[in-house]
């Protein structure tokens, strides 16, 4: 096993940074590891216009650490009412890189999401025309569909027809969780790629449910059977250009996770690239970490590969029990604590210099 690995600086192609006083700490963790990140628009209210994205971008840039040249790449939230003109404006802006489709009710802050994809066809046609990628949270939300089958049914009922109707539309199938998604992405000639999270590579639903229910392992799409985990590991570590890194790191305060009805989302930005290194090492495929983390996403988005390098060393460190969530350091209660993935446990890879 190598003791260190040096790769082109990686990018996170799916990230939740939130807003307000929690922004600074979250940006710091990501900027330490990644050169760029695709920033999700599911704020309250959602980021639906170029003007809102410009203001949000300013708030993020204001808290980027001085020693970092981290670049946020913005997205707009697709709604039933998004117009072709908004897509045109986004494309013109240069800093908005994509639109995000949340089926209404699928996850955190998705109430304003899409109720019927046909309502978005004029906007999607414009995306296809201009080459603007559509990022998709691929889950059916119908009450009669089992939560573990939401992704599989989405492929049949929504994604396949969408690909047929828009054969040139660039699509990122976000945070895939099943072999059905892997097989679909691998088998189609459509310009579609998929992001895979570190937590779906490292865990399956047993980790969440055996021996007690672990709210910090609850996210959407929910962790699946270990056979699906194996399919994701194979896809991510294969070197295929169709798969790339997207953490879906999704912070919520401790009190919003450890409650009778907990929020969905795992926080992984404190150790994101280190966790991917762990997953690739377990698969004995560290040689393909760079393609997944630093090359494939940039190619899909038509952006240059980062010239900077990042070195990871195989050295254990202890994950803190919690991070301060927000800037009010006097308040140490659970509403101001962020529990990171593997809190209190050891991680085997470390960024050189940390």
Catalytic entry in 248, 284, 318, 331 = 248
Task: Indicate the residue among 10 and 349 with the shorter CB distance to Zn ion.
Answer: 10
Residues 244-283 that bind ligand DOR (CB under 6 A): 250, 264-265
DSSP alpha helices (H): ranges in 34-140? 50-61, 84-93, 121-130
Q: Identify what 42 binds: Zn ion, ligand DOR, none; CB under 5 to 8 Å per kind.
A: ligand DOR
Q: Which of 16, 150, 199, 337 binds ligand DOR (CB under 6 A)?
A: 16
At 248 the three-state DSSP class reads: coil
User: What's the closest the beta carbon of residue 63 comes to ligand DOR, in angstroms?
Assistant: 19
Cβ proximity to ligand DOR: between 25 and 265 the closer is: 265
| CA separation, residue 208 to residues 107, 148, 168, 202, 215 (Å) | 18, 13, 38, 12, 7
The answer to the question of residue 137 lying near ligand DOR (CB under 6 A) is yes
CA 165/CA 85 separation, integer angstroms: 20
248 is catalytic: yes
Across the strands, what pairs with 98? Answer: 75
Q: How many Cβ atoms sit within 10 Å of the Cβ of residue 54?
A: 14
Residue 248 touches Zn ion, criterion: CB under 5 A: yes
Tokens representing 250 are 């999704």
Side-chain-side CA neighbours of 27 within 13 Å: the count stands at: 28
Residue 85, C-beta contacts closer than 8 angstroms, at least 6 positions apart: none
x/- letters, 209..248, toward ligand DOR (CB under 6 A): ----------xx----------------------------
219 binds, among ligand DOR, Zn ion, none (CB under 5 to 8 A by kind): ligand DOR
Partner from ligand DOR, Zn ion, none contacting 50, C-beta within 5 to 8 A by type:
none
CB of 254 to ligand DOR, least distance (A): 14
**By the criterion CB under 5 A, which residues form the site for Zn ion?**
248
């Amino acid at each position: 096993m190598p003791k260190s690995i040096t790769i082109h600086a990686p990018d996170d192609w799916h990230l939740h940074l939130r807003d307000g006083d929690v922004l600074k700490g979250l940006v710091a963790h990501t900027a330490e590891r990644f050169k760029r990140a695709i920033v999700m628009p599911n704020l309250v209210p959602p980021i639906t216009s170029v003007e809102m994205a410009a203001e949000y971008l300013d708030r993020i840039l204001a808290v980027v650490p001085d020693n970092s040249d981290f670049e946020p790449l913005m997205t707009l939230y697709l709604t039933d009412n998004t117009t072709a003109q908004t897509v045109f404006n986004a494309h013109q802006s240069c800093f908005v890189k994509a639109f995000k489709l949340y089926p209404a009710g699928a996850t955190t802050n998705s109430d304003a999401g899409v109720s019927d994809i046909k309502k978005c066809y004029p906007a999607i046609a414009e995306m296809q025309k201009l080459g603007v990628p559509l990022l998709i949270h691929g889950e059916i939300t119908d009450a009669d569909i089992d939560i573990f089958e939401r992704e599989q049914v989405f492929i049949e009922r929504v994604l396949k027809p969408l690909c047929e109707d828009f054969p040139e539309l660039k699509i990122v199938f976000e945070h895939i969780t099943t072999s059905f998604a892997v097989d679909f992405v691998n088998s189609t000639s459509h310009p579609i790629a998929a992001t895979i999270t570190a937590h779906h590579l490292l865990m399956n639903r047993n980790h969440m449910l055996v021996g007690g229910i672990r709210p910090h392992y609850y996210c959407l799409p929910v962790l699946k059977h270990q056979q699906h985990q194996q399919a994701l590991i194979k896809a991510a570590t294969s070197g295929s250009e169709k798969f790339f890194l997207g953490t879906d790191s999704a912070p919520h305060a401790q009190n919003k996770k450890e409650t009778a009805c907990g929020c969905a989302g795992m926080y992984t930005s404190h150790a994101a690239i280190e966790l991917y290194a762990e997953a690739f090492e377990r698969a004995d495929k560290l040689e393909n970490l760079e393609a997944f983390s630093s090359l494939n996403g940039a190619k899909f988005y038509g952006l240059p590969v980062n010239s900077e390098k990042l070195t990871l060393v195989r050295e254990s460190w202890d994950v803190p029990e919690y991070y301060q969530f927000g800037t009010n350091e006097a308040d140490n209660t659970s509403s101001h604590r962020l529990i990171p993935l593997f809190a209190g446990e050891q991680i085997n890879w470390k960024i050189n210099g940390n």
